[in-house]
């Protein structure tokens, strides 16, 4: 814990004073523009990856950047999505997977998780991605894991559309969905082009979205 304590003291002494005006504003309110859903992996830092300040992004982190489909059995992810969209009014949601993901590796390699029943149960929310990935041919085990990461982002975007607040915001034209895959070694980000069903370089295609806001439906 010593490095953490030392870091907290450095924050209080050096960092906080330089940002005190920002924290004074944030003390009573927050107005993030995006919900960022990513893995709990210690190598993935959303604020660092997106270069955002405190208060700019609402973050959900869990094993495998998973979003369970909406159901009557509420959970932390469901509640956080509902709050971000229904109360904070975020205009964008990013589901971000990453290279060398332990959760996706376990699924792709059929790792026995009998000793981790909670993890095994949680990863069942990626069954759709697993089914898609298993139907494809992969040249190497590494390629199979990588493909699983991408398939999972697509599957979780499908899951999040089942949440009432998300479905309503999309239909009302006030929310866009984004699917990213972050490569830890290179720093590159691939983004899902929902119109063409492919992942492209975010650097080369910065306007890429997985799902644009829907025009409001009107009766004929």
Q: Residue 74: what pLDDT?
A: 79
Q: Which CATH architecture has domain 31-201?
A: 3-Layer(aba) Sandwich (3.40)
- pLDDT, mean of each 10-residue run, the chain (220 residues): 96 95 95 98 97 97 97 90 98 98 98 97 97 96 97 98 97 96 98 96 97 62
Q: Residue 172: what pLDDT?
A: 94
Q: Residue 73: what pLDDT?
A: 79
Burial class (CB in 10 A: 0-12, 13-18, 19+), 90: buried
> What are the CA-CA distances from residue 91 to residues 156, 158, 172 (Å)?
18, 18, 11
Domain positions in the chain are: 1-29, 31-201
Contacts of 21 (CB under 8 A, 6+ apart): none
DSSP string, 123-155: HGGGHHHHHHHHTS--SSHHHHHHHHHHHHHHH
Name the pairing type of β-strands 34-39 and 92-98.
parallel
């Amino acid at each position: 814990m010593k490095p953490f304590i030392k870091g907290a003291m450095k924050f209080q002494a050096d960092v906080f004073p330089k940002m005190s005006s920002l924290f004074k504003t944030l003390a009573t309110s927050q107005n993030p523009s995006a919900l960022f859903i990513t893995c709990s992996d210690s190598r993935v830092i959303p604020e660092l990856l997106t270069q955002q300040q405190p208060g700019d992004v609402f973050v959900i982190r869990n094993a495998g950047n998973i979003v369970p489909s909406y159901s009557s059995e509420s959970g932390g992810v469901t509640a956080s999505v509902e709050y971000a969209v229904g109360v904070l009014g975020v205009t964008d949601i990013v589901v971000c997977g990453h290279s060398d993901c332990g959760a996706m590796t376990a699924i792709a390699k059929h790792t026995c998780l009998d000793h981790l029943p909670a993890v095994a149960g949680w990863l069942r929310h990626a069954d759709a991605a697993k089914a898609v990935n298993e139907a494809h041919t992969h040249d190497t085990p590494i390629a199979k894991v990588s493909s699983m990461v991408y398939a999972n982002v697509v599957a979780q975007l499908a899951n999040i559309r089942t949440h009432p607040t998300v479905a309503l915001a999309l239909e009302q034209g006030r929310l866009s969905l984004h699917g990213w895959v972050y490569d830890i070694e290179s720093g590159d980000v691939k983004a899902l082009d929902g119109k063409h069903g492919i992942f492209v370089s975010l650097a080369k295609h910065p306007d890429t979205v997985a799902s644009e806001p829907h025009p409001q439906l009107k009766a004929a």
